[in-house]
Structure 1
Amino acid sequence: MPGRGKGIKRRAGGPTAENTKRKKNFNQDPGEIVDILSGHDGAEPSSSDSEVWVFGDSLVRWAGERYGSKSINNADHKVIWDGKSETRSEELKSAIQRGLLKGYKPSVIIIHVGGNNVSSANTCKIISIVSKALKYLFSVFLNSIVVWTDILPRFNWRGTPNTLASAKMMDLKRKRINRKLKQTILQYEMGRALNHQNINRNNPHFYRPDGIHLSDHDNDAYLSKMMIAISTFTRDNSCKSLNMG
């Protein structure tokens, strides 16, 4: 079982069957939950607010832009949106090191990477790269809750034939990666998992014409449910996994 590295001593005990199996499901309209963590009439978060660091690819970048455009003021957390187009799993460890150099002290770290690897890398290699980066992450951010966010489905996987058979093959690969990395992160006491199960290939209207990025409406839904996950994981220590329907 992975460890947490050397550092500050925390309470004893690792993952248990009881808290690992505990899950919650949410099925709310994004319009009802987009301001779930809104602050006090436009007040800026103070320096004492805890940080949430969200790292990932263009999905994180777009979510951060929507978050900013809606002027959501979070009374409990200062959210750092660290998203960049074409981000790959190999960049996760260097991003962790960069966060250390910048002095990040996040109470929650949300990881959304891997989507840009699915069509171009071996499944075992992707799992290995992310697993090693997660082990390092837990060793240097000892008291942070770390959330693995499932790789989302796509209608178009770059570099693959534009056929139904190819798309199904990529989706099976995506699911295997998600399943294994969820198992990996839940082995850690501070590990959490987030599944956006409502975003799937049965709903093409969720996506922009490129078949990769989310539409504005569903980008808002993604953002809203991310906010609920932050709130839930920080308030309920026994909750290890969320299925966001």
Structure 2
Amino acid sequence: MNQFEHLKEEDSGEQEMKEINDTDGGTINNNNNNIRRKVEPLVWIVGCSIIRRLHTHIRAQRLDESLGLRCEIRWAPDTGPWERLLPALRSLSASSSRAPDVVLLHLGGDSLLHEGRNRLGFLRLITRDLSECFRMFPGTRFLFSEILPRLRWRGQTGKSYGVERGRRWVNGRVCRFLAERQMRRVRHRNIGLIHLCGDGVHLSPEGNQRLMSNLRDALQEELRR
């Protein structure tokens, strides 16, 4: 809180009025500064059903939906596959009074084996859409949360080891793309197949805790930049 010095009484009435006016002006300016400081950074978390289940987990455990951070988080946990990203962001923008400071993206797992498209085609889609995101929100920083490992993939017809290689390849290439633009990815080295629930896709309670911790740490670091 700003501290103000007390005005010294002056014999001259004109000088006294000048000092009072100066003080009033200073108070108004500082009040405006306080209002500006109270506007917290705005974060959008946009994701697939994994984020929806994480959000449900946070609410069920009565945890802070802002992840204990000094920011306003708006959750968009029903975006779906990557192909729905841009419409989701346009919808969020239309219903928001200001652009986000940070957008955290966690989606893409359901699009990795899209029919008629290989991993290079998927990477091209991601980089094209991210470039459009940068154009739509020029002052916003984007975080890409890595595609997590799974036992079952949408569209999978054979063994999963080839899909796993594709997952790691896409994560690495997107990281490189973002790094060239001074943006980052969220890594999940502490989440593996043992942290999945029975469906082989979504996370167990422990997996959700780890994901929440990873997202929180990444956002905390990003907000300090």
What's 2:63 paired with? 71
SS of corresponding position for 1:106: coil
What's 2:207 paired with? 218
1:84 matches 2:75:
no
Whether the 8 Å CA contact 2:145–2:185 is kept in 1: the answer is: yes
The alignment's C-alpha RMSD in Å is 2.0
What's 1:177 paired with? 170
Of Structure 1 and Structure 2, the greater strand share is in 1
The alpha-carbon distance between structure 1 residues 180 and 221, as it changes in their structure 2 partners (threshold 3 A), is same
Structure 1 CA distance for aligned equivalents of residues 83 and 155 of structure 2? 18
Structure 1 segments (4+ residues) deviating >6 Å:
none
1:108 matches 2:102:
yes
Question: How many residues matched?
Answer: 183
Structure 2 CA distance for aligned equivalents of residues 222 and 199 of structure 1? 8
The alpha-carbon distance between structure 1 residues 143 and 135, as it changes in their structure 2 partners (threshold 3 A), is same
Deviation at 1:151? 0.4
Alignment of 1:1-245 (within 5 A): 48-69=39-60, 70-72=62-64, 74=68, 76-84=70-78, 87-103=80-96, 104-120=98-114, 121-161=117-157, 166-189=159-182, 191-201=183-193, 204=194, 206-235=195-224, 237=225
Aligned residues: percent identity?
A: 22
What's 1:243 paired with? none
TM-score by length of 2: 0.75
Structure 2 CA distance for aligned equivalents of residues 52 and 66 of structure 1? 19
Whether the 8 Å CA contact 1:114–1:126 is kept in 2: the answer is: no
SS of corresponding position for 1:220: helix
Q: Deviations over 1:103-153 (max 9, x none)?
A: 252111001111001122421221111111111111222222210111000
Letter in 2 for 1:100: S
What's 1:13 paired with? none
Could you tell me which runs of 5 or more consecutive residues in structure 1 were left unpaired when the two chains were aligned.
1-45, 238-245
